[in-house]
Amino acid sequence: MREITYRQALNEALAEELERDPNVFLMGEEVAEYHGAYKVSQGLLERFGPKRIVDTPISENGFAGLGIGAAMVGLRPVIEFMTFSFSLVAFDQVVNNAPNMLTMSGGQFNIPITFRGPNGPAHQLGATHSHATENFYASVPGLKVCTPATPRDAKGLLKTAIRDDNPVLVLEAELLYSSKGMVEPLDQELLVPLGQAEIKREGSDVSIICYAQTVPLALATAEKLEEEDISAEIVDLRSIKPLDEQTIYNSVSKTHRVVIVEQDRPYGGVGGEICYRIQKNIFDELDAPILRVSQEDVPIPYNERLEKAVLPNADKLITAVKKVCYA
């Protein structure tokens, strides 16, 4: 194992899959000559050439649709959105064309495409650039959605997504590009399956269910809770859809208390769905009502202090954990 950044992990995943399969190409705004707005595609143009690392004009609907059309005839496009907030301009392509094609064609046309890029609130970008899109996209039949939180998961999930025969959205965590973590050596193939959560920390008193940017928050909070003799188990969903219900149920059956900490919205957020499934399937395991920590139900403000107040944070999480533990 070696320590690399989340950004580098994604870069390795792209390079390895471009190397492995000539049908894979990367397309998006500034991916080639500029090396990516977040430098994820650094060096790929030099290595794979302009035929496979393709810069586009600012036309999200156009190039997302181009990717889907190329996938219809057998290529495996990786489409980068500079941020998933901009994917909303391509919403029709991502929601109407990519996932519907297989059903609408009676099984004739699957769409092996990967849409990837940063997602979720970052730091003082204002409402238009801070969308967490996972709950929109996870609601669409035919799409798969994953949300890596560590360099290892980022590399393994992106490689799996590119090999998947369906449209997969890899929602990268904008604030984690420079974070570091241990990853298998380059000569060792790393694939993380879609639909498989991971226990990032074992605990016995409460299950904190999290994903993407809330994973490091949950892990740091667990350390603080330990000082108060509360043992938190951290369940990183890794994939939003398909959802690994079993890992969730196993953890909840052990701790009997749940807090879901999510980066998206309270109304119809990912946590709402998980909450429903837990109470429906293992209601008797619960010793307390499930609590959710999510965004406040407002467009994300620019002001730093207000933005912090809108997003999940350690104080909110600790309060919620203590409440479910009746501590």
196 binds other proteins (CB under 8 A): no
**Minimum distance, C-beta of residue 22 to other proteins, in the bound complex (Å):** 9
The active-site residue, picked from 12, 80, 129, 256, is 129
62 binds other proteins (CB under 8 A): yes
Q: Give the residue among 194, 199, 67, 198 at the shortest CA–CA distance from 138.
A: 194
21 binds other proteins (CB under 8 A): no
| 150 and 181 Cβ atoms separated by less than 8 Å | yes
In which residue are the tokens 């959105």 written? 81
Question: Interface with other proteins by CB under 8 A: which range of 32-40, 140-148, 184-192, 309-317?
Answer: 140-148
Question: Interface with other proteins by CB under 8 A: which range of 7-15, 107-115, 212-220, 319-327?
Answer: 107-115
Work out the burial of residue 73: count CB atoms within 10 Å of its CB; fewer than 13 is exposed, 13-18 middle, 19 or more buried.
exposed
Give strand ranges (E) for 129-257: 144-146, 168-173, 180-183, 198-201, 206-210, 232-236, 239-241
Based on CB atoms, which residue is closest to other proteins, 103 or 303?
103
What CA–CA distance (Å, rounded) separates 66 from 27?
10
**Active site includes 129?**
yes
Give the 3-state secondary structure of residue 58: coil
50 binds other proteins (CB under 8 A): no
**Minimum distance, C-beta of residue 223 to other proteins, in the bound complex (Å):** 39
DSSP 111-145: ---EEEEEES--SS--GGG----HHHHHTSTT-EE
> At residue 177, what are phi and psi to the nearest 5 degrees?
-55, -35
Select the residue interacting with other proteins from 30, 39, 66, 245 (CB under 8 A). 66
Question: Interface with other proteins by CB under 8 A: which range of 89-97, 126-134, 210-218, 250-258?
Answer: 89-97
**Active site includes 35?**
no
Q: Which of residues 238-297 bind other proteins (CB under 8 A)?
A: none
Select the residue interacting with other proteins from 42, 110, 250, 313 (CB under 8 A). 110
Contacts of 325 by beta carbon, 8 Å cutoff, 6+ apart: 205, 206, 230, 257, 288
Can you say whether the dihedral through the CA atoms of 52, 66, 7, 142 is positive or negative? negative
70 binds other proteins (CB under 8 A): yes
Q: Which residues are known catalytic residues?
A: 60, 129
**Residue ranges that bind other proteins, judged by CB under 8 A:** 25, 51, 56-57, 59, 61-75, 77, 92-93, 96-97, 101-110, 112, 141-142, 144, 165-166
